[in-house]
Structure 1
């Protein structure tokens, strides 16, 4: 769960480097490698300044809705919904203000003993990599990025199936 929060914070705050947006969307491929196994997740996300929708499509279907400090996770395979408050979102804005440029397209940012490598291509974040708290290598590739497009605000309203268990 912590990985999702950090990833969201990273995506939102990375654009403080030199990119601005009213909304941003992208497909993603998230690889988690722990030397024994490698898992690839694919999906799509849409973010605004205070809302987000993460739609994981493979290998499982999961939607994550964030609205200010409230998070709703719909786990379709488990027929379960988790609703909770985000007590603490890392202030990554400060981190990226101080991110060090390694070369023309690569930045390094440090936060709570984690080093994030950000690769840019044509002023867009192309890739984010880091080692998580479980010593997994995490790599997130962003594809088909779009900024400042029309977004239907109803996308950010969770549609919870009636037969799903709700955990708060």
Structure 2
């Protein structure tokens, strides 16, 4: 669950227009490989807007919505009919990560933030993937497709809709 939070905070934008980009939307495929080689795959859709709003809509293998609003995360799990609300203690500034990334070759950038190294792949001005190792030594690879940059978004899109019959867990 921790790598899902971290990924949810992380994701945003491409290098080409980093200073003018205000929003990013894409489909994603996330592959988590543990130190024994076991693989978990997730897929879905992401929306991100400056300054620190994100909505990760996980569609496979099960539905889960993760809303990030600055330093708060709300996880809506329809299959479990529950909502988890957590304060994020280490807020991650992905714009800062991108801004400080160093170009390694034509399509590869390396960035370091909070002792984690990120490998960022670009093709033309499109963000193709981000890869990193989490604190549990899992390798996280997130691939992006069907991207839209600077689409007009509202903060309302990042406000969770919590069904009244769901259990609410505050963590």
Task: Compute the TM-score of the two structures, normalised by the length of structure 1.
Answer: 0.86
2:89 corresponds to which of 82, 87, 90: 87
Q: Deviations over 1:5-55 (max 9, x none)?
A: 43344323x546743322210000000112342111001011111322110
Paired residues, number: 167
Aligned to 1:42: 43
Unaligned runs of 5+ residues in structure 1 are none
Taking the aligned partners of 2:166 and 2:91, their CA distance within structure 1 comes to 27
Aligned to 2:153: 151
Aligned to 2:11: 11
Taking the aligned partners of 1:94 and 1:162, their CA distance within structure 2 comes to 37
- Contact 2:111–2:117 (8 Å) recurs in 1: yes
- Contact 1:120–1:126 (8 Å) recurs in 2: yes
Aligned to 2:57: 55
Aligned to 2:128: 126
**Displacement of 1:138 after TM fit?**
1.0
**Displacement of 1:158 after TM fit?**
1.3
Taking the aligned partners of 1:25 and 1:16, their CA distance within structure 2 comes to 15
Task: Compute the TM-score of the two structures, normalised by the length of structure 2.
Answer: 0.85
Where 1:77 maps in the other structure, the secondary structure is helix
**Displacement of 1:153 after TM fit?**
4.7
**Displacement of 1:92 after TM fit?**
4.6
